[in-house]
Structure 1
Amino acid sequence: MLRADAARRVEQLRARVVGSARYQEGEEPAEDAGALLAEAGEVLGELEDLIRRINRTNAHAVVEGGGTLTDALARRDVLRLRHSVVTSAADAAAGRDQHGAVRQLRSELKMLSALPVAPLRAQADVLAREIREVDVLIQRSNWEVDLLD
């Protein structure tokens, strides 16, 4: 939560710096871009320290089923990618990437699926369940594990 807040703060400061970096001659800038840039640097330094602490904690925190929190995060990331690939393959095999293209004449070539759609959908469902389970494990660990210094 702290990490997300710091990242949002940096993005807000970045937008304010960009908005105040130039101003019309004879006018005053809306804000002091230099001060905003310095503030962004401070928040980025705090964010770096926080990320280091989070990474250190994740590498040392053992989760249910063995392995570290870092291992669980890597597992979730790969499961998400795997789910995306399988879902995309099923959509393509089902003709979903054709934007509703339908054969209009008998003389047109018929499109055939090179992959079995139903088993791919079933595999995607299993992967989605695994993602949810790993997510629950990660969320629970986030509440149970104290952040290291």
Structure 2
Amino acid sequence: MAEKYGIPDYKKMYPDASEEVIAELRRTERKIRYQEHDLKVNGYEIKQEERKVIKIPGREDSLERLVGMNKQFVNGQPSVEEEVFHKIMCEQLHRAFRMLEKEEQDLIYRLYFKKQSEREAAYQLGISQNAINKRRHKILGKLRKNINYFL
């Protein structure tokens, strides 16, 4: 039989569970029910001096009501698959980056993370901009090769 307020009888459901586990299940169930109630039910605020009652709407809303109010939803969010693919590719890129020599890592860091131009990097390193460009292309080729190695 279910307990008071619709909380399941965890003793019957899990006869081998310890008292601590049962107590935690009850506490968690009560917390969930409280949060569900808090989200669904409207609240009221009474302002004595103004003699007003202000309705505070619940925070849960239905899709039908939001569509009826012409609320717009973001369509451009990436799918779960796209996010997972992006995360995997970033991990592969970081592994490939760690395989580069220190000087190569420094140049990529300057150009892509600090957003320095080739000319700025060349000036700071004391070499020509053309040399920076050639090194960048060589390093990017190495990165591609290393990433394909991991895939």
Task: Establish whether TM, by shorter chain, passes 0.5.
Answer: no
Higher strand share: 2
TM-score (norm 1): 0.35
Q: TM-score, normalised by structure 2?
A: 0.35
Choose between structure 1 and 2 for higher RCO, CA contacts under 8 A separated by at least 6 residues: 1
Structure number with higher helix proportion: 1
